[in-house]
Structures are given as C-alpha cells and as structure tokens.
Structure 1
C-alpha cells in the first residue's frame, strides 16, 4: 500500500506543482478566493471526490469526500493571501500538500476502509471559516485532522496562542473644535484608552499581547469625530487568560466613558481562536513518516506566538500542525516576498511532495492499525480533561 501511495504521488508530481503555482500567481484576499477555490474543486472532482461547493453558505469554501465510513481522515486547504503582499506565508503550499496527500491516499483506500475528507477553509487571515465550521459541527464526525505549514525550519507541531478580537467604540458630539472648548470628544476617549493600555501592558504576563489600531476617528483636523472606533487582538497562552484580559479592558472602556461622559461600547468583532492542542501520538506517527519520506532533520515542537484557527478545531478532534522548511537559503525570512517566491522553487516542491507523502502514510497507518486510532483518541480525551 505504501509503495502505491509513493508511486501515485510521483505520477501527479507536475499537477501538484501547477496547483502551487496557480494559487501563487492568483493571490486572493480572505473570503474572495474564487479562482483558487475553483481550481481546487476541479482537481478533486477529476479524481472522483464528491464535492459540496458553497459549503455552509461560504462561497469560497468546500467539503470533499472520497470513500465511506470511519475512520474519517481530514486534510485542510488554506488558500487566502495577504492583500498587496501575496502568498508570503505559503498558503499555496498548504493546499498543494493537502491535495497531494488526499489524492495519493485515494489511490489505495478502496482496498481498505474509511473516508478521506478535504475541507477548503477560506479566510485564515480574517475570522477563519474553520472556526465557523467548528461552531456548526462540521468536525464532530471526523476522527483526525492533518495539515502541515511551510516555514523556514522544520519542526514538530506545538501550540499556538489563543486570540480574542475586541472592538471598542466611543460616541460623542460632532462639532468644530473651536466651538467645543472644554468638552471631551470620542477621539479623546480613544486616545486615552490606547495610552492606558500601553501602560497596563507592561504589567501583564509576558506571553500575552494587546495589539490595536484606530479604524475610525474623523475626517478633518478641525472637526471632532462623533464616533471613534478601535480594534484589538488580545492574545494569550490559554483562552481563559485572554477572557480575563478582555473583562479588564471592558471595565476600562466603561470607566473612561463614564469619566468623560461619552457613550462607550465594546464587542467581539470576529470569532475568537482557541489555543492549539497538538495530539502528541499523532505527531509522533507523522514525524516517523516524515523521516521515512526523506525529511530527516525535524526540530522540537514549535510554539508559535501567532493564533491559528486550527486551535479551535483541536478542541474538538485530534489535530497536528507541523512546520516544514521550504527554503535552502538561511537569509530568507518567513512572511517576506522572498519567502513567497521560494515556494515555487524545486527545493520547495520536493518538500511539498515528501510532506504530502508523510501525511498520506500517517493516514494509512491510522486506517490499518485500529490500536493507533484508539491511542490517539485516548490521549485527546485526557488532554481535554486537563484544560
């Protein structure tokens, strides 16, 4: 079976590269990935996957399945780019790795049992669809979720930060500055909020961060804005850390509003991301298969300061999110234009094929050895109890 997977992957080698290149050449921002989504769907249909388009009423999301019953092995595709920057984080390779793994596994699964699921998840950079899918029960019947992320160093799957998006709005009286001497404006309240947060941030745990911008605050230096809006990302190691910080900020906003006699509001403006829980059993199996596939040097678990939407999914089903080096030049920095261009190099493509192979072989191990899936799920339930 393993040799069949390896042989099939080599037979679609050029098709996988063309997929990486197409998504790279057609960068689309979150929830507008129409070309990329269509390209992925057409490939899956070509290989006889049953595809649900416009999945859960998200135009650029899809749910594809091959086979029947359990175990249900899920591969994740991400394909949004950063506006005006393109695929500087390599989402084009996330899709090609997952598609390569899913297609190669489909070449043998008819002789076994179980299902291959491929979910197209748009909008990773802005309120990811994975979180919406998780809330709607999409992952409830899935046994494991596998994905790998391109990077500048290969590392095992670790943790990520929990994230909570908080919007703060102040409303005051609109008027000319020269006519409103002695009164506070919504902009005054907004600026005071930033100053207080900057001071308070020095006393919060070093792992936690508060990042904010002013998104609405006037059109003319001589005119006081009636509304001033700011948006913040609150990040911390665990969601309970972040929710405690959220409560303090909400109290701060109310206090500032009361002191300045200005109406204040605070609200969640995107779905929060929970911290990633890596299933170490699943990670161990993948790392073994990655070495068998030719990627020998694997660093320890990487704990990223970023937030990952897969974190929310990992509280529902066993997941891994390892990192794969796709560069052969140490001077290249992650999330740079040079990194994006490097995703189309022969070196990166070789890593894509080897990683897809490792993911597919990991899925094969789970399907063939029922005891592995039991071990994975036992660990998963223990992890949830310890949260």
Structure 2
C-alpha cells in the first residue's frame, strides 16, 4: 500500500468508528422489522436516513424499481459500487442476514466517502431489493444502474469467514408450469375429465427419477402451488413452481431442458395442455475478481479473523452473479462467529441479531472499504478497471449491453 493509501485507510477506520453505533443500530432495526421482496419500504427509509445524515445524495427508485435506491458521494473518475441487500424471507425473517449486508454496505460507503476526493473516487451505494426472489440486481443491471460502476462489492454473513476465491454460487432458473385439463365429476363422469393434477404427479415422478442421472452439484426443487379444489372434481388446473440449479449458466440450460422434458411427459400422459412461464430472472453463477479477492482476504485476516481455505464452497444462488459477470466484483462471506446454524433457518435468523452479527457488520464494512482504498491507490489496478469500464461503456453504446 502506498503512503497515500495508508493515510486514507487510517481515516476510513476513524470515520467508521465514529459511526459504529449507528451502523449496529441500523442492522438491529432492519432485523426487527423484516420485509419481503419488493416491499422493503421501511428498510429503505431506515437506510436512507443514515445515508442522508452522512451527506450522501440519494436517488430513490432508480430504473423504476420502487424499493431500490442509489446514494453517491465524491466525484472521482473511479466509481466504487457497494451493494446493499435488505429483503427477508417469508415466515423466518432475516434468516439470510441481509440486515448485516445492508449495514456493512452503509459502513463501507461512509468510510470511503471520507477519503473519496483524495483518492479520486466516487462512492455509489446501490440499494438492491428482492435478492431472495425477484432479482433486483438483474433489473438494475439491465436498466443501466451499474453502467458507471468500475468495481462492485458486498459481503454476506455465513458460518465461516471464507476467502472470496473459496466461494462461488450456482446459476438458477425459476419458472412455473401450468397444466390445463378439463373438469368433470370425479364419480359420475371421470372419463370425461382431463386430470391436470395427474399431469403434475407424472412430472414429479419423472423428475424424481431424473435426479439419479444429474451431476452431484445440480439441484432440482419444486412444489405444487395449485392442484385441485375438491375431491369430487377432476382437477382442471395444476400449477407447479420449479427451480433448477447448476454450476454455471451454460450447463443450466441443458439441465433445464431435461427437466422440461419431464414436465412435457405429464402433459403427454394425461392430455393436458402445458404452459411454462418464468417467475423471476435467471441468476448467473458468481465470478470473484482475483485481485480484489486477495486484497479483501488480507484485510479480513488483519482484523483478526481466520479464513477457511481449500474448501471451495458452492451452494445457493445470488443475483450478484449477474453483476459479477459484467462488473469486476467480490461477494465474500463473513462469519457470524459462533453460529452453528446454516442460513435460511430460524436459528440463523436469531444469530443475525446478536453481538456476533454486529461484529460482522463492523468488520465487513472495514474490509470492503480498505479493499476499495487499495484498488484506488494502486495505479495498475486503477487503470485496469477504468479500461474495462471504458470498454463496457463503448460496447453498450453500440448496443451490446448485457
């Protein structure tokens, strides 16, 4: 790190320390009032209040996404994007710890803002709703909110502190299959009906058998959302919600095709008509930018945390994957130390509101901000990322936006 970088790092940490209690208060408040995808109105208000207090210029609802926002300080040529997630899960609240993600993002942005002019950077905190279901980042990416971002980052709470290179995510596609048959009396005239419920059963059996034949890292999940209304009526309609996951977006396509063949088997066997519709955007697999990954890992270790290595972890999916395939990004995991509960459980939801989660907020904010300081003060990395941004901008101008 250069002398300039060291001086900026000290000021970043001092600024973050001054805001420490407010960041923890924010995390706890978000945790206490969980909100679901695209309905995170109170969460946005709470986060925005802190950012306004810190002097950020806010834009509510960019790209016609009402519970998104962007907050900016600084006017340098290198824009550092920091992503905040804040949606919760149905019934089990912040069981993925998005309250920690949001508060850490705010802390990183506030710390960086204190040195933005000296480093020649522009800090852009992007509020990204609906990560669990809905793909808020995909919408914002497609509509240009990331067009000016040179590098992007966020942290995600976990049971372990993982080197970014040790963590990836799966690509996922989510869709609904609707079978339409013909209703009839189940006792008096069953032969006149076309049983849409049976079509869903045939598909589930076929998919259950298919699971034996797919690679270990692939996942297929589904549930029957609608399958009939009464025992004496042949079901006229059935709806199956399904998701397929694979290691990358390319192999996902082949797996989805095989799964859809199983659904078509249900239609063929029963005579029901079949319709397939996406329920949300596809999530791509996550690409961790190597140089930023190493910088972040170094800062996490300097904070006294022990990184897990040699255990590349895949599991779950994130719309940050889509961002990472366009903008150089990191999405590391930071431990809620002592947690014995995996994410998406009631136990992890409780852990996300503890002092250990507060520590993850503070350390995550510090490591992200210090990583950005390193990038901005390293002439080689700075020019590399600015050059890549210029190439993307040129491609978008020619109609090549992803």
CA distance in 2 between counterparts of 1:49 and 1:217 reads: 50
CA distance in 2 between counterparts of 1:67 and 1:327 reads: 34
CA distance in 2 between counterparts of 1:71 and 1:63 reads: 16
Q: Determine helix, strand or coil for the equivalent of 2:87.
A: coil
The match for 2:365 is 356
Contact kept in structure 1, 2:36 and 2:89, CA below 8 Å: yes
CA distance in 2 between counterparts of 1:211 and 1:327 reads: 30
Contact kept in structure 2, 1:155 and 1:301, CA below 8 Å: no
CA distance in 2 between counterparts of 1:350 and 1:137 reads: 34
The match for 1:340 is 349
Shift of 1:16: 0.6
**Which residue, out of 329, 347, 350, partners 1:319?**
329
CA distance in 1 between counterparts of 2:330 and 2:21 reads: 27
**Which residue, out of 191, 195, 198, partners 2:208?**
198
Shift of 1:68: 1.6
The match for 2:219 is 209
**Which residue, out of 101, 114, 126, partners 1:94?**
101
> Any residues of structure 2 matched to 1:1-387 within 5 Å, and which?
1-157=8-164, 158-182=167-191, 183-300=193-310, 302-328=312-338, 331-374=340-383
Shift of 1:375: 5.2
Q: 1:326 to 1:42 in 2, by over 3 A?
A: same
Number of matched pairs: 380
Q: 1:376 to 1:292 in 2, by over 3 A?
A: farther
Structure 2 length-normalised TM: 0.89
My pick for the range that moved more, 294-303 or 204-213, is 294-303
CA RMSD of aligned residues (A): 2.0
CA distance in 1 between counterparts of 2:307 and 2:239 reads: 47
Shift of 1:357: 1.0
Contact kept in structure 1, 2:100 and 2:360, CA below 8 Å: no
CA distance in 2 between counterparts of 1:144 and 1:137 reads: 15
- Deviation digits for residues 329-378 of structure 1 (CA, Å, limit 9, x no counterpart): 5x444433333233333333223212211111111111111212345689
Q: Determine helix, strand or coil for the equivalent of 1:96.
A: helix
- Deviation digits for residues 105-153 of structure 1 (CA, Å, limit 9, x no counterpart): 1011122312101011111111120011122232232111111111111
**5+ residue gaps in structure 1?**
382-387
CA distance in 2 between counterparts of 1:237 and 1:377 reads: 29
CA distance in 2 between counterparts of 1:37 and 1:300 reads: 38
Contact kept in structure 2, 1:294 and 1:354, CA below 8 Å: no
Structure 1 length-normalised TM: 0.93
CA distance in 2 between counterparts of 1:110 and 1:314 reads: 26
Q: 1:44 to 1:359 in 2, by over 3 A?
A: same
Q: Determine helix, strand or coil for the equivalent of 2:207.
A: helix
Q: Determine helix, strand or coil for the equivalent of 1:65.
A: strand
